[in-house]
Amino acid sequence: MLLSVLMSLRPGRRALSILVSLLALSSLRAQAPEVVGTMPEDYLPALKAVLTAALKQAPQTIAKEIELSQAAARIYVADAPRLPSFGGYANYASNETATTANTSNRTRDNGGFYNFGLSQALFHWGALKNESEKARIGVLIAQKSYQEAYRTLAVTLRRSYLELVVKKAQIAQARFERGLLIADLTLAEDKMKDGLVAGGEVAGRKLNLEEVSFRLEKAEVEFAAMRRAFGRLSGTPEPTENSIPDEVPKPVYSATVASSLLNTFARDGVRETFQAKVSQLRVQEADLNYKIARVRLLPKFKAGANYSLENTTNASATSVTQQGVSRQTLTIGADWAIFDGFATRGYKLDALATKRLRERDLQSATEAALDAVQSLADQLRLDARAVEMAELRLALAAAQLAKYEDEFKLGNVAQTAVDGLANAVKQSAINAAAARASYLSRWSEFVSLTTVDPVLNQLPARHDREKR
C-alpha cells in the first residue's frame, strides 16, 4: 500500500519519500526483536494462523480494503480536470428554412453534420493540482484506516482466543467436579439404602450436583457462542473445542523491555499512531483547501480547439446552390469570477479554522496515546504480579495434593479428601490461566499501541491503482 502511494509521486519527491520510509522500516525492525517471542501467538501457535488468515478473510479488513479501493478511484476523478477533454457530436439531418417576405427563396441543409472539440486547462493557480493532492491524502487516510482496522482486529482476536482457552479450562474443571459429585451421590444413595445416611443429606448432594450441572451447561453454551463469534470476527471456520489449547502457557514479563518500549514510544512513536497520523494528514488537507479557496476569484485560463462540418443547400426561383462549410477554431481564453458574494472569504476562513482544529486534534491524539501507553505499562506491572501470586497459589495447591496422595497410599486420608483437593488444584489452575490471559492480552495491547506489533509486518504492499 505504501509502495503504491510512493510510485504516484514525482521522481524527486519519490526518492526522498522512499528514503524516509526505509529509515522508518529499519527503525521498526530494530525494535521488533524486543517483542519477538512475547506475543500471545508465540505462546499459542494456532493463533498465528488465525491472525494471518484474518488479514484477507475478516469482514472488518475486507470492508476497509473496499474503502481503500474507493479512495484510490477518486484519484482519477480529481486528476481528470488536469487532463485534456475531448468530445463532439455527429448527425444526419435535413433542414429547410423559408422567410414569409420571400417564399420563393428557400434554404435547405441536407446531409451529415459533425463537430469535435478539444479543451485543456492551462493555468488555475495550482487549484487543480491541490485537488489531486487532496485525493491522494484520502488514499493515505484510507490506508491508515486499513492498517488500524487490522491492528485493532489482531488485539481483539488475541484477547478473544485467550478467553476461549480460559473458558475451556473452566468447563474442564466443572466436568471434573460434576464427576466427583456423581460418584459421591451414588455412594450416598447406597449408604441410604443401608440406613447409614439420612435422606436429607442425599437431597442436599443432589442439589449440589444440579447446581454444578447447571453451571456446566451454561458454560458450554457460552463457550459455543464465543467460538462462533470468534469465527465470524476472524473470517475463519469456527474453532472446535478440541482445537482450543487446554492451558495458557506462563508468560515471562520483562520490566526492561516494557520500559524500553515506553521510552521509545514517548520519544519517537507517539506521532506514529493512527489518530496522530490521520490528524497530520487532515492538517495538510486543510492547508490545501485554503490554497484552493485563495485563488477562487482569480482568472482561470484554458485552451480549446474545434472542427465542424455542415452541408448547406440554397434554393431560389432561378437557381440552386450547394456547399460544404467546415470550421476550424483555436482559442485561448479565461474564466473570471470577479465577485461571488464573499463566498471565497467564507471558504478561506473555514479552511483556516479547520486547520487549527486538526492541529488541536493532533496534539490531543499524541497526549491521549502517551497516556494510554503509560497506563497500560502500569497495569502490566500489576498483571505480572497477579500472575506470580496465582502461580504461587497453584504451586502450593499442587504440593498439598501431592502430600495427600502420598497419605492416601498409606491409608491415612480418604479418597474424597484427595478428590476435593484435586478439584481445588484445578480451580487454582483456572485462576492462574485467567491471570496469564489477562497479562498477555494487556501486553498485546501495549505492544500494539507502541506501533511495533509484529503482526503489522504481514500487511501487503498493494493497491497500486492510483497513478498520476
pTM for the structure as a whole: 0.81
Q: For residues 120 and 306, is the Cβ–Cβ distance under 8 A?
A: no
List Cα–Cα distances, 308 to 108, 304, 313, 323, 429, in angstroms.
Answer: 18, 14, 17, 14, 88
The Cα 236–Cα 205 span in angstroms is: 43
287: cell is 492547508
Closest CA to 71 of 151, 146, 148, 152: 146
SS3 88: strand
Using an 8 Å Cβ cutoff, are 134 and 288 in contact?
yes
Mean pLDDT for back-to-back runs of 10 residues, the chain (468 residues): 42 40 40 76 94 93 92 93 91 72 63 86 91 93 93 96 96 92 84 78 88 94 96 94 94 93 88 89 94 92 89 62 80 89 93 93 91 95 96 94 88 86 92 96 95 88 41
pLDDT tens per residue across span 34-75: 888 999 999 999 999 999 999 999 999 999 999 999 999 999
DSSP code for 215: H
Q: What is the pLDDT of residues 292-326, one digit of tens each?
A: 999 999 999 999 999 988 776 665 556 666 667 78
Q: What is the pLDDT of residue 321?
A: 66
Q: What is the pLDDT of residue 11?
A: 41
Rg (CA), the chain: 38
CB burial of 337-371 (b: ≥16 within 10 Å; e: otherwise) equals eeeeeeebeebbeebeebbeebeebbeebbeebbe
Fold classified for 2-15+30-453: Outer membrane efflux proteins (OEP) (1.20.1600)
Going from N- to C-terminal start, the domains of the chain cover 2-15+30-453
Q: What is the pLDDT of residue 101?
A: 62
Note the pLDDT of residue 26: 41
pLDDT at residue 94, as a whole number: 72
